[in-house]
Structure formats: structure tokens, C-alpha cells
Amino acid sequence: MKHLFLIGCLFLTTLVHAQLKLYRGDSSFDSDIAYTIDNGAVYHGDNRFSSKIYYTISNDKVYLGRSTTSFDCLYTVKGDKVYRGDSSFSSDILYTIANGKVYRGNSTFSNACILTIENNRIYSGDSTFSNDLLFTLTGQNQLSVALLACIVGPY
């Protein structure tokens, strides 16, 4: 019985570490969890207390809610571009990703930079100052900069 309990605890520990949590600012308190990402499901806050899925991430696309139909596709990631909906037209480019930075539209000029992602931290604009820190990431970050931008970006 003790062995079964120990195996169960190890399994739960593995599940907890497989999640990605985004904390507001430089906090690491549970009350400051802005998003929890677990197996492609994006929850607002801590998923231990909320079962509502805001977004689903699948095949480099972000969908509204639990759906993965093209009607509910909010963003599509192709290479270093993020497109509106299920599109791949240049007129639908929302973000361009380059060197850990997220730029508005089809630009890589510094004045178009809206997010900087560095050392598991997400900053506003072209900055890494502590005053511009939006989120701190903890857990297994297996998401691309583009997918993180879809979740926390201004669109």
C-alpha cells in the first residue's frame, strides 16, 4: 500500500511540473497566477480552482474554448508569423517573431515591438526593465514565443 501511495505521489508531482504557469509581474504566489497551460488547455488563473478553458492550443493554432474547429480558430502560427484566425494571407499578419521579441504586424522595427520574452519573463515593449515586467513563467515551457504572444498579447 505504501508503494502504491508513493507511486501516486510521484505521478502527481510529474503532472504538476508538466504545467506552465504565468504569474503576474515577478510574483510566484498562487494568488497571482494569470494563466495555467496544461496539455494545450489554457486556463485563466490556477486550473486547480477553475475548470473553464479559455483557449486550446493544437497544431500551432490557438482556438477559443475547448474547440478545435476552424470556426473557433483565433490565431495560426506559421514560421515567424502569427495570423488572424485560420488565415495565412499577408494582410492577416498580427505578429512577427524575431530574437525573442514580438512585433506588431509584418515589421521588426523597434517601435513596433510589443513584447520581449527573455529568461522566462515577458516584458512590455522593447524592454527588460523590471517596471515593464508583465509575467514570469514557471514550469515546463514548451511553447514557442509566438504561442505565448497569442495568449498574452494585445490582440
Q: What is the pLDDT of residues 14-31, one digit of tens each?
A: 344 468 999 999 998 988
The x, y and z cell numbers of residue 17, run together, are 511540473
Q: 121-124 and 81-84 as β-strands: parallel, antiparallel, unpaired?
A: unpaired
What is the model's pTM?
Answer: 0.82
CA atoms within 13 A on the CB side of 22: 21
> For 125, which DSSP code?
S
**Residue 37 pLDDT > 60, yes or no?**
yes
pLDDT band at residue 11 under the 50/70/90 scheme: very low
Range of the domain at 48: 2-152
Number of domains in the chain: 1
The pLDDT score that the predictor gives to residue 153 is 84
The predicted model gives 92-119 an average pLDDT of: 95
CATH of residue 97's domain is 2.40.160
The predicted structure's pLDDT at residue 128: 93
